[in-house]
Amino acid sequence: MHKSIIKFTFAVLLIATSSNVVMAQENEDGRRYGNFCSSCHGTAGAAVSDAIPSIGGQHKDFLITSMLEMKPQVVDGKEQAPKRYSTLMQIFFKGYSEDEIKAMADWYSSRPWVPTNYPLNQDLVNKGKASANLDTCTSCHGTDGNNIEDTGIPRIGGQTPTYLYHALLEYKNNKRNADGRALEMDVVKEISDEELRALAEYFSSLR
Amino acid sequence: MKKLSRRNFVKTTAISAASLSILGLYGCKKSAETAATPAETAKPAETASTAAAKKAGHTVVIAGGGYGGATAAKYLKLLNPSINVILIDRNAEHVSCAMSNEVIFGLRNISEITMPLTKLAEKYGIEFKQAEVTGLDGEKKILKTSAGDVAYDKLIVSPGISMDYDPALNFTAERQKEIPHAWIAGPQTLQLKDMVSKIKAGDTIIFRTPLALYRCPPGPYERACLFGNEALKKGAKVIVLDPNPQIMSKKPLFEAAFNNLYKDVLTYYSGVEVTGIDYDKKIVKTNKGDFQGALINYVPNQKAGELVFTLGLVEPGKKWASVDPKSFESTLIKDVYVIGDAIDSAPVTEMPKSGTIANATAKVVAENLVRIFAGKEPRVPLVGNTCYSLVSEQEGIWIATLYEYDATKNKIITRNGANGIPKEASVENRINGHSWGNNILSDTFM
């Protein structure tokens, strides 16, 4: 028994050590620009609560697209409404340049993806797992919700549950209709709010 | 190096892996070094890093374990585990002032906002001392405490606020107990919660807000709303006595709540000067008339936590500690940094006295101390403030601002106009606000 524990702990140690060594090149500017983000999104972007998303370890391309879409652009000296809905994020992105946003995305995406430990509603998880629309989701996001082939597609496995639900509602209600990605998400328009809530809980449970 | 039994090896290896998962969030080289010597690390973070720090000679002492102090301690360790970090507080746990209004009105349990500093210390290898700080020798760099002298390379002081009672009101210690302010969370929070639970039909609640500058600009108006909510449920009335000329934060949103949700139960007076209190008859005398109430919640005006006065960090005649806005270093004593609510903010910054700002500026100071120890130039503050408030049990509001140091003004000001509030209160804002609360507690104390 001890041997297997040793093997296991060694494996954990090696993985942790090697990933740390890889991470040694931190984008310190990105860390500085985003130092206060962790007060809402959790230390190094690992959120502990349910309505604000984890951003640490999220795919970089998705982070950049999301942040730039929430940033109000100025055209002919006039501030335009951001392409994507947010409650307060558009205020903060107004304060950052595109390069600074990319640096923040670089730093947060290089942190570990830490699945949320927010308590689950098992009933909803089961309903989500049984959903006829599950395959539609996993075909892009991967069966574990963490497709790493296409970094423009967000990690959703282990993401905070209420955030996922709110995001699905935003796609459904045309609040995130900025680009081609939103078109892909048009599939959610045919799905009831109740089923979306269950799918959100299921993907949050993939931890 | 001690020889390891297999059992100990398993144990220490497992602990190293666990500590890596925490430290791996930040400064990675250091974690890898720690991992290379699991044999030395029965309690890896503590013994190894303390030994290394003693060699390197970098000790940061932090007085005060609230949002500022706890964040500074944690982030110093995340950024460089070899720094010797000593956190001192008179209490072994910190009760968060943010969200304490929710406790008063039964929307959160006080255990949710009670943060054990000992746990934080254990997790990150911080040395925690439960002690009273009694004095400072700024030249020899020694902090004097009830647990003995503590030497430092850099000292961070984050004591929060203390009450500045108006002597004319004769607020004796006994009367301070009868009329709790509950503006420093803890026993008074529960005392006011108990008083609120006893409100009955026909009662009048008198709530006096503090004169700016005070901790948490929207806090008084959130509490006023929640008093209004309680009054609606029970058939009581609320009188809000505000010494300020107007609502001091998120004004249109609180005004909308007063004028719509609570128009039948709440009366708001601005520019109120309290001239006397009849403690037996529970009458508050003011320039706007006399008000009698079953419950009086009088929040006094405020000044910096007593500690900065004890340590000589306040200029004569001032109520807050003066700092250089580039660094938060005291203008009076070198190598001493003051963060959080205790700073004399008006001359140097537009930032509010909020938990989020204490958390964010603590990260700036931690990062800069690590840079200074490594022989690098410190960088100017760039921080944000997010603050959610409730206007009822269902709906919330927020304010969001990005701040940066501006060299031409020598002030920390709003960056690129990034400041705003929502158009109206909403359920979504309440839900996000609850998550914000949990995440900032975690980012600061866990």
pLDDT 10s digits, B213-239: 999 999 999 999 999 999 999 999 999
- Tell me: pLDDT of B9 over 50: no
The reply to whether A17 falls in a domain is no
CA B368 vs CA A18, A111, B86, B323, B374: distances in Å: 28, 21, 17, 15, 10
Q: Is there a single domain that holds both residue A82 and residue A51?
A: yes
Q: Same domain for A81 and A51?
A: yes
pLDDT at B36 over 90: no
With beta carbons less than 8 A apart as the criterion, state whether A137 and A129 touch: no
Distance from CA of A98 to the nearest CA of B (A): 13
CA–CA separation, B344 vs B338, rounded Å?
Answer: 10
Per-residue confidence (pLDDT) for residue A159, from 0 to 100: 98
Q: How many domains does chain A have?
A: 2
Q: Which residue has the higher pLDDT, B52 or B126?
A: B126
Q: Do β-strands B127-130 and B84-89 pair in parallel, antiparallel, or remain unpaired?
A: parallel
Q: Which of A35, A59, A31, A53 is nearest to A170 (CA)?
A: A53
Tokens 């996000």 correspond to what residue?
B432
Give the chain A residue whose CA is nearest to the CA of B368: A32
Residues A102 and A136 in one domain: no
Helix (H) or strand (E) holding B380: none
Q: Is A50 in the same domain as A96?
A: yes
Distance (Å, rounded) from C-alpha B145 to C-alpha B129?
A: 10
Q: Indicate yes or no: CB of B10 within 8 angstroms of CB of A36.
A: no
Helical (H) or strand (E) element with B295: strand B295-298
List the one residue out of B436, B352, B349, B350 whose CA is nearest residue B390.
B436
Q: Which of A81, A109, A137 is the last residue of a domain?
A: A109
In a domain, A132, yes or no: yes
Assess whether pLDDT exceeds 60 at residue B158: yes
Distance of CA B142 to the CA centre of its chain: 25
- Looking at chain A, how many residues does it have? 207
Q: What's the start-to-end Cα distance of chain A, in Å?
A: 26
CATH architecture of B45-160+305-378: 3-Layer(bba) Sandwich (3.50)
Spatial separation of the C-alpha atoms in residues B432 and A53, rounded to whole Å: 10
Domain of residue A192: give its range. 122-205
Q: What is the DSSP string of B332-374?
A: SSTTEEE-GGGB--TTTB---S-HHHHHHHHHHHHHHHHHHHT
Q: Which two tokens stand for residue B263?
A: 């128009």
Measured CA to CA, the distance from residue B331 to residue B323 in angstroms comes to 5
- What CATH number is given to the structural domain containing A82? 1.10.760.10
Is the confidence at residue B13, as pLDDT, over 50?
Answer: no
Is A78 part of a structural domain of the chain?
A: yes
Q: Are residues A148 and A92 in the same domain?
A: no
pLDDT for the residue numbered B2? 42
Residue that finishes a domain, picked among A55, A83, A109: A109
B160 three-class SS: coil
Q: Quickly count: other Cβ atoms within 10 Å of residue A174's Cβ.
A: 11
Whether B5 shows a pLDDT value over 60: the answer reads no
Q: Cα distance from B337 to chain A (closest Cα, Å)?
A: 19
Query: Helices A193-205 and A134-141: crossing angle, nearest 10°?
Result: 50
Q: Walk along chain A (207 residues) in steps of 10 and give the mean pLDDT of each run.
A: 48 43 72 96 95 97 94 91 93 97 97 95 98 95 90 94 96 78 82 98 97
Convert the pLDDT of each residue in B54-111 to its tens digit: 555 799 999 999 999 999 999 999 999 999 999 999 999 999 999 999 999 999 999 9
Structure tokens at B64: 């005060």
Q: Given A109, A132, A163, which residue is the final one in a domain?
A: A109
Instruction: Indicate whether A99 and A126 sit together in one domain.
Output: no
Same domain, A199 and A140: yes
Q: Do A36 and B7 touch (CB under 8 A)?
A: no
- Which of A41, A51, A111 minimises the CB distance to B25? A111
What is the pLDDT at residue B22? 52
Q: Are strands B133-137 and B148-151 parallel, antiparallel or unpaired?
A: unpaired
The closest alpha carbon to B228, from B255, B188, B249, B191, belongs to B255
On whether residue A3 sits in a domain, the answer given is no
Indicate the pLDDT class of residue B32, thresholds 50, 70 and 90. Answer: very low
A126 shares a domain with A93? no
Position B240 pLDDT exceeds 60: yes
Q: Name the pairing type of β-strands B266-269 and B237-241.
A: parallel
Q: Count residue pairs from A and B with Cβ separation < 8 A.
A: 166
Q: Taking CB atoms and an 8 Å cutoff, what residues of chain A touch B400?
A: 88, 91-92
Query: What are the φ/ψ torsions at residue A74 (nearest 5 degrees)?
Result: -105, 120
ipTM score of complex: 0.88
Query: So what's the pLDDT on residue B12?
Result: 39
> Is residue A152 domain-shared with residue A196, that is, in the same domain?
yes
Same domain, A64 and A138: no
pTM of the model: 0.90
**B25:A12 CB<8 A:** no
A2 assigned to some structural domain: no
Per-position b or e across B294-333, b if 16+ CB within 10 A of its CB: bbbbbbbbbbbbebbbbbebbeeeebbbbbebbbbbbebb
Comparing CB atoms, the residue among B17, B398, B440 nearest residue A39 is: B440
Q: Give the tens place of pLDDT for each residue, A120-169.
A: 999 999 999 999 999 999 999 999 999 888 888 999 999 999 999 999 99
Q: What's the 3-state SS for B51-91?
A: HHHHHHCCEEEEECCCHHHHHHHHHHHHHCCCCEEEEEECC
Residue of B9, B416, B446 with shortest CB distance to A94:
B416
Determine the angle formed by the axes of helices B117-124 and B67-79, rounding to 10 degrees. 10
Evaluate whether residue A9 is within a structural domain.
Answer: no
Tell me the shortest Cα–Cα distance from A173 to chain B, in angstroms.
15
Q: Does the pLDDT of residue B15 top 80, yes or no?
A: no
Cβ partners under 8 Å of residue A134, min gap 6 = A128, A199, A202
Say if residue B24's pLDDT is above 70. no
Element spanning B187, H or E = helix B187-197
Please determine, looking at this structure, whether the domain spanning B165-303 carries the CATH number 3.40.190.10: no
**And the tokens for B409?**
């003004």
